[in-house]
Amino acid sequence: MGEVVRVERDGGVGTIRMNRPERLNAYNREMGEELLSAASALSSDPAVRCVVLTGSGKAFSAGGDVEMMAAFRGGGPGEFLDLAVRLHAFIVTLRRAPKPVIAGVNGVAAGAGFSMALACDVAAAAESARFTLGYQNIGLSPDGGMTFFLARALGTQRAMEMTLLGKVLSAREAAAWGLVQQIFPDGEFGAGLSAFAGRLAAGPTFAYAQAKELYNRALSQPLEAQLEEERQHIARASASGDFREGVAAFLAKRPARFEGL
């Protein structure tokens, strides 16, 4: 992996760390290629049972690199069409990963950085983290799945409020709006995120994957179809070793020791 993205493994946790701290981890072509490569590798690695996406330095990601985009002016839409391909493939890879994906929002998450955080299954944020779109400041519309995820999370009117007015959410406000599930003091963020990821990595990975697939489909099909999906998925989960271990642990009144199988 190159310099702008680092991949770290610690037990069952695989971490993707955006690593352009001097640019607030702003997204460019190189980062797009490396994020997609990292997400694909960790998603398919059975030893990795939880993925964390986070940033180096003071920011999660400030979004697209504006200095890079300045070079696109007057060049037509081709540059943006090409740039978004990798970003969107990365977003889809996060959503389809058969394991929990945590956004570890260590600082500002703006524009495409905010989209990346929304694409994860859950988010943990440092107390000082901030969330905003920012596209309107440079005359662009959102990308990275922003309109898909934010409208579903907040409703269209609140999503439009953030889009039109450039609203900035604090970590506490984002949690109140349901966009963040864990908040840690800045000085405890690394340890808190590690413990949170470790907890999910120790869980029933196959069952998590089945649930994630169901939630991904839930808003695009009628109730009857979703009920049939749930019937099929719970039947598959019942054949897993984690199900056998979970029932045995429950009956023995002991903690379950899931292996993700």
Is 54 among the domain residues? yes
Quick one: three-class SS letters along the chain?
CCCCEEEEEECCEEEEEECCHHHCCCECHHHHHHHHHHHHHHHHCCCCCEEEEEECCCEEECCECHHHHHCCCCCCCHHHHHHHHHHHHHHHHHHHCCCCEEEEECCEEECHHHHHHHHCCEEEEECCCEEECCHHHHCCCCCCCHHHHHHHHHCHHHHHHHHHHCCCEEHHHHHHCCCCCEEECHHHHHHHHHHHHHHHHCCCHHHHHHHHHHHHHHCCCCHHHHHHHHHHHHHHHCCCHHHHHHHHHHHHCCCCCCCCC
Whole-number mean pLDDT of the chain? 94
259 belongs to a structural domain? no
- Identify the pLDDT of residue 29: 93
**Total structural domains within the chain:** 2
In terms of domains, do 172 and 68 share one?
A: yes
**Rounded Cα distance, 109 and 114, in Å:** 5
Q: What is the pLDDT of residues 106-156, one digit of tens each?
A: 999 999 999 999 999 999 999 999 999 998 888 888 999 999 999 999 999
Domain that holds residue 195: 5-201
Instruction: Report yes or no on 157 lying in a domain.
Output: yes
In a domain, 258, yes or no: no
Q: Which residue has the higher pLDDT, 23 or 83?
A: 23
Judge whether residue 76 has pLDDT over 80: no
| pLDDT attached to residue 80 | 77
* Higher-confidence position of 72 and 145: 145
Both 240 and 145 in one domain: the answer is no
> Cα 16–20–24 angle (5° rounding)?
105
**Tens digits of residue pLDDT in 3-37:** 999 999 999 999 999 999 999 999 999 999 999 99
Q: For residue 38, tell me if it sits in a domain.
A: yes
Domain match, 28 and 101 both: yes
Query: Do residues 132 and 248 both lie within one domain?
Result: no
pLDDT score at 1: 46
Instruction: Tell me the per-residue pLDDT of 152-172, one tens digit each, with 9 for 90 and over.
Output: 999 999 999 999 999 999 999
> In terms of domains, do 181 and 239 share one?
no
Q: Do both 157 and 237 map to the same domain?
A: no
| pLDDT at residue 74 is higher than 90 | no
CATH number at residue 211: 1.10.12.10
**What is the arithmetic mean of pLDDT over 28-56?**
97
- Residue 159 domain-assigned (yes or no): yes
Do residues 196 and 232 both lie within one domain? no
Instruction: Decide which of 180, 201, 222 is a domain's last residue.
Output: 201
The catalytic site residues sit at 88, 143
